[in-house]
Structure 1
Amino acid sequence: MTGSTREAQLLDTFVTLADTLVVGFDTIDLLQILVERCVVLFDATDAGIMLDNGAGELEVIASTSERSHLIGLLQLGAGEGPCVEAYSTGRAVSVSDVEQIADRWPTFAARSTESGYAAVDAVPLRLRDTALGSLNLFREAPGALNPDDASAVQALADVATISILQERAVRQTDVARDQLQRALDSRVIIEQAKGIVSYTRDVDMDDAFKLIRDYSRSNRRRLSDVAAAVVDRSIRL
């Protein structure tokens, strides 16, 4: 990717995120767009996002593949890893080589290696003192983001956080929490729909999600609505 093309894609991503600063945007689709763009922009293998469910517990809300989704779940189950630390501290965490952090996060390091990931960069989704989760980039080759790219990833994460929290400026905190809860509930439905499509079409979970996403975009329907229709069998993909 040339420098000018990459710059154009980065600017387009900021515009896309800014377009969500309206009432009624689809949080799941916003975060899915963000992780997919980050993979392209920052030469990552996969990306994922964890969000606080409102009770101080993180959940995987968006990912570009099943293995990045599972690595996120692993960190939550083990209570360790760069993605969890980025959320809890509100600071970016960079692991340029997972083999070098076995003493710090043994479970995470072992499973990352098994999954083929050699490096991870995690940045917090935060606004001032409020942390919502973390945006995480996984790579199959060792290495870290350069300072300019690290700043760009954090800027994208900040805009996404503002998009999620913007209703707090005009409504009570409970409204924003309800919005996040709806997003988390939608993710459960999407996972169910992926399982159904994977089974009926005899494809893996990543391809099943792509079929659902493609249908959502081509028919201009919300991703969560399409997933619900797949689950209740009113749509057959």
Structure 2
Amino acid sequence: MTTPRQHLADIFVELAGGNPDLPLDPPVLLAALAAHSRDLVGARACGVLVALPGTGGGEVYASEDAARDLILDAEQRSQGPGPYCRATGNPVPRTDLRRAVARQRWPHYVPRALALGYTEVAARPLRGREEPIGALVLFGGEEARLTDEALEFGQSLADIVAIALTRDLELSRSRTLAGQLEHALTSRLVIEQAKGVLAAQRSLSMDEAFGILRGHARARQRKLTGVAQEVVEGRLML
């Protein structure tokens, strides 16, 4: 039987990325953040607005469809706490949507939120290493009020997921860079081998051999590495 403490520990492991031997799945992780945040902080609903590098725009994951549609519409209109929090990295404090000041600040957002039964809202940033990558939006209602403790806990959950996503992005960049460096090294090695073959065949200096290789590649609009590979393999005589 799983105890409440063990259940909480399992959630933390899930939000931290789960099994380290398996690749991180950002959509699954962000959907889990929205669902677990609602349950753990006692909110009416929760959503996550995120813009990861290379995605080209904001993506939304939420504990219910109504919250997702509201956050997505807010992102498109640049209204509501989600877009502000995601763009600036600053938290948005608990805001009573029934007050006139909220309606003045977000004239389109507030009526729609109230119609869905959300009477208060707050947002907490998903903080990347250099810039925010998203925002956790928490909605409260008449029977699910947002407390200061709930908002602090929500920030902790957002931080766990942000760390997992940031580390995964950095790992992906490192792998890409390593692949590029390996390709560059391999290409350089093939070219040097081809220069040696050509220099030996025609009694040329290494610089002269390289000039011939480069001239052949340019004249035929081919990559130098491809020409060099054919010379090394004996498929091209220059």
Q: TM-score, normalised by structure 2?
A: 0.63
1:21/1:163 contact within 8 Å kept? no
> 5 Å matches for 1:56-71?
58-71=57-70
Instruction: Report the AA paired with residue 144 of structure 1.
Output: L
Partner of 1:51: 50
Pairs aligned (count): 170
Match of 1:103, SS state, is helix
Deviation by residue 1:117-171 (Cα, 9 ceiling, x = unmatched): 111121111134321111111122284331x332221111111111112134334
CA distance in 1 between partners of 2:152 and 2:19 (Å): 22
| Unmatched tracts of structure 2, length 5 or more | 177-238
Q: Does the aligned pair in 1 maintain the 2:50–2:60 contact within 8 Å?
A: yes
Contact 1:36 1:64 in 2 (8 A): yes
Give the structure 2 partner of residue 145 of structure 1: 147
**How far apart are 1:102 and its partner, in Å?**
0.8
Taking structure 1 as the reference length, the TM-score comes to: 0.63
Q: Which residue number in structure 2 is paired with residue 154 of structure 1? A: 155
Q: Is 1:170 matched up with 2:161? A: no
Match of 2:118 in 1: 117
Report the CA distance shift for 1:41/1:62 in structure 2 as closer, same or farther (over 3 A).
same
Partner of 1:24: 23
Give 5+ residue unaligned stretches, structure 1. 176-237
Counterpart code for 1:20 = G
Following superposition, the deviation at residue 29 of structure 1 comes to 1.4
Contact 1:49 1:61 in 2 (8 A): yes
Matching residue of 1:216? none
8 Å CA contact 2:103, 2:110 repeated in 1: yes
1:13 pairs with one of 11, 14, 37? 11
What's the Cα RMSD here? 2.6
Q: Within 5 Å, give how 1:1-237 maps onto structure 2.
A: 5=4, 9-20=7-18, 22=20, 24-54=23-53, 58-100=57-99, 101-141=102-142, 143-146=145-148, 148-172=149-173
Call closer, same or farther: CA 1:74–1:21 in 2, change over 3 Å: same
Q: Distance between the aligned counterparts of 1:173 and 1:106, measured in 2?
A: 44
Deviation at 1:60, TM superposition (A): 3.4
Structure 1 Cα separation of the partners of residues 65 and 169 of structure 2:
32
Q: Is the 8 A contact 2:124 2:135 kept in 1?
A: yes
Contact 2:41–2:153 (8 Å) recurs in 1: no
> How far apart, in 2, do the equivalents of 1:66 and 1:126 lie?
25
Q: 2: distance between equivalents of 1:169 and 1:155?
A: 21
User: What is the CA distance between 1:103 and its match in structure 2?
Assistant: 1.0
Kindly state the Cα deviation for residue 41 of structure 1 after the two structures are TM-superposed.
0.9
Aligned to 1:191: none
Contact 1:52 1:133 in 2 (8 A): yes
For 2:169 and 2:30, locate their aligned partners in 1 and report how far apart those are by CA, in whole Å: 19
Give distance in 1, aligned partners of 2:130 and 2:52: 17
Percent identity of the aligned residues? Answer: 24
Larger Rg computed on CA atoms: 2
Equivalent residue letter for 2:162: T
